[in-house]
Amino acid sequence: MNIGEIKQVYIPIVKVTFSYTYVDDDEIKITNAGEHKFPIKKLFDGSTYDLFKYNGTVAIYKRTEKKKNYYFAWGISNRDSKYDKSIGEQVHTYEWAEPVKISGATRDYIEDISPLKKGFENINAKLWDYYSFTTFKPDLWITKLHQYQDRIRIKEEQDYQKKQEKYARENRAQCGACERYIERWDEGNWDGVIYDHGFQQVGHRAGVCVGARYQPWEKSPEGKIAYIKDLESQKDWLLNNKPDEKLLAKLKKSVEIYVSFKKMLKELYEVNKKEYEESVRYFDRSDDDFIRWIRIYHNVNIETQYPVNYLHSLHVWKETQLSELLNVWQAKVDLLTHLIINEQDKVDNWKAQQTPKEKRDASN
Ligand SMILES: [Zn+2]
């Protein structure tokens, strides 16, 4: 866990949502209950007030110091939600009422001071509702949170156990490269190496995982060593191909070719629109399809061009600067450097282990 990081949790057992943070390794502090903060110090009348009860629109605060109780109600006086076209999202706005001092936290007091619901003033509908209040019980909630976390942990352990049983049944072991559990290849002379399996490699290559056909991680670090070699060769390639003005010019040339391809396609489409749309159904239409169609019916040959990008990360266009390429390039070099160090550390600390199947067989 990260100390200071605020997390929100809904605890089903007590039906409560609150935010909390770790103040040290195992001490939790609740920071918010719904929208409401606490304790409120010297905010209302110079005394300290603690959260007492709350719901989605209002919280009742109780004075902690004196025997005779005073309360403050503090909540939302108006809420609105509008669709904002410019960002394509529903935007919620809240207005908060001035805190109001009350001498009791009962239904009547709260109804007395509750603002009228906007748009429902004529029927005297109140915004603050006493009935849906949750009593603020931080100690109880923290206990329940711990219980809840324990349940999740137990569930995860059970899931882990189930997976291990499945891996044992299917004779799966961990691939040294991608670290997934893959079946071992036991037939013939393969001696239990990892089967071929696909994996999206870091960088730009997709295909068969480099860890395939090596011993699983439990038996040998050879799969990971091959993976590190692969990462190193990717890094070497990058170091030998640092972007420069020449590369930028080359990419921009491709951009020009792509732009004129799109322009030509558009013009051809305009001219042949009617005929094309009559012969091809709406949902079958695409650039590729149009290119095929115009080749067959009008004997026009166009070579498909694709948008230009650099290292599969940066979309290149006519205004792209060399500094942008260098940023992408540097980020890839840094990522690979980091990965290589990380993976090498695992190899340095490698120890032989049993595979899930070996573990199961040993315990039977
Ligand atoms: Zn793999």
Choice between 65 and 53, residue whose per-residue pLDDT is larger: 53
On whether residue 261 sits in a domain, the answer given is yes
pLDDT at 12 over 90: no
Å from CA of 205 to ligand 1 middle: 13
On whether residue 191 sits in a domain, the answer given is no
- Letter for the amino acid at 214? Y
pLDDT band at 118 (very low <50, low <70, confident <90, very high): confident
Residue 209 and residue 199 in contact, taking contact as beta carbons nearer than 8 Å = yes
Domain termination residue (choose one: 96, 125, 143): 143
* Cα dihedral 177, 183, 184, 188 in deg (nearest 10): -130
Q: Tens digit of pLDDT for each residue in 240-272?
A: 999 999 999 999 999 999 999 999 999 999 999
pLDDT band at 202 (very low <50, low <70, confident <90, very high): low
How far, in whole angstroms, is CA 319 from its chain's centroid? 31
Cis peptide before 243 (omega within 30 of 0): no
CA–CA distance, 84 with 92 (Å, rounded to integer): 10
Å from CA of 362 to ligand 1 middle: 26
On whether residue 183 sits in a domain, the answer given is no
Residue 10 and residue 143 in contact, taking contact as beta carbons nearer than 8 Å = no
Same-domain check for residues 17 and 128: yes
Q: Which residues, chain by chain, have CB under 5 Å from ion ligand 1?
A: 175, 177-178, 199, 209, 211
Contacts for 357 with CB less than 8 Å, ≥ 6 apart: 167, 168, 169, 171, 172, 173
User: b or e along 137-156 (b: 16 or more beta carbons within 10 Å of the residue's beta carbon)?
Assistant: ebeebbebbeebeeeeeeee
Of all residues in the chain, the percent with pLDDT exceeding 70 is 93
Å from CA of 255 to ligand 1 middle: 36
Å from CA of 154 to ligand 1 middle: 28
Q: Tens digit of pLDDT for each residue in 134-144?
A: 898 889 999 99
Å from CA of 211 to ligand 1 middle: 5
The end-to-end CA distance of the chain, in Å, is 37
Å from CA of 229 to ligand 1 middle: 14
Å from CA of 27 to ligand 1 middle: 39
pLDDT at 43 over 70: no
Å from CA of 212 to ligand 1 middle: 6
Same-domain check for residues 130 and 255: no
pTM beyond 0.75: the answer is: no
On whether residue 35 sits in a domain, the answer given is yes
Å from CA of 155 to ligand 1 middle: 27
On whether residue 228 sits in a domain, the answer given is no
Residue 328 and residue 311 in contact, taking contact as beta carbons nearer than 8 Å = yes
On whether residue 208 sits in a domain, the answer given is no
pLDDT at 204 over 50: no
pLDDT at 163 over 70: yes
On whether residue 52 sits in a domain, the answer given is yes
In the chain, the number of structural domains is: 2
Domain termination residue (choose one: 119, 143, 167): 143
Å from CA of 259 to ligand 1 middle: 39
Å from CA of 198 to ligand 1 middle: 7
Å from CA of 74 to ligand 1 middle: 57
Å from CA of 199 to ligand 1 middle: 6
Q: Tens digit of pLDDT for each residue in 321-351?
A: 999 999 999 999 999 999 999 999 999 999 9
Å from CA of 181 to ligand 1 middle: 8
On whether residue 15 sits in a domain, the answer given is yes
pLDDT at 180 over 50: yes
Å from CA of 220 to ligand 1 middle: 14
What mean pLDDT comes out for the span 118-133? 86
Q: Is the dihedral of CA 256, 260, 265, 267 positive or negative?
A: positive
Of the segments 30-39, 174-183, 194-203, which one has the largest average pLDDT value? 174-183
Give phi and psi for 96, each to the nearest 5: -100, 140
Q: Which domain holds residue 46?
A: 7-143
Same-domain check for residues 250 and 132: no
Domain termination residue (choose one: 143, 178, 208): 143
Å from CA of 158 to ligand 1 middle: 25
Task: Single out the residue of 135, 152, 151, 218 nearest to residue 184, CA to CA.
Answer: 218
Å from CA of 209 to ligand 1 middle: 5
Give phi and psi for 188, each to the nearest 5: 60, -130
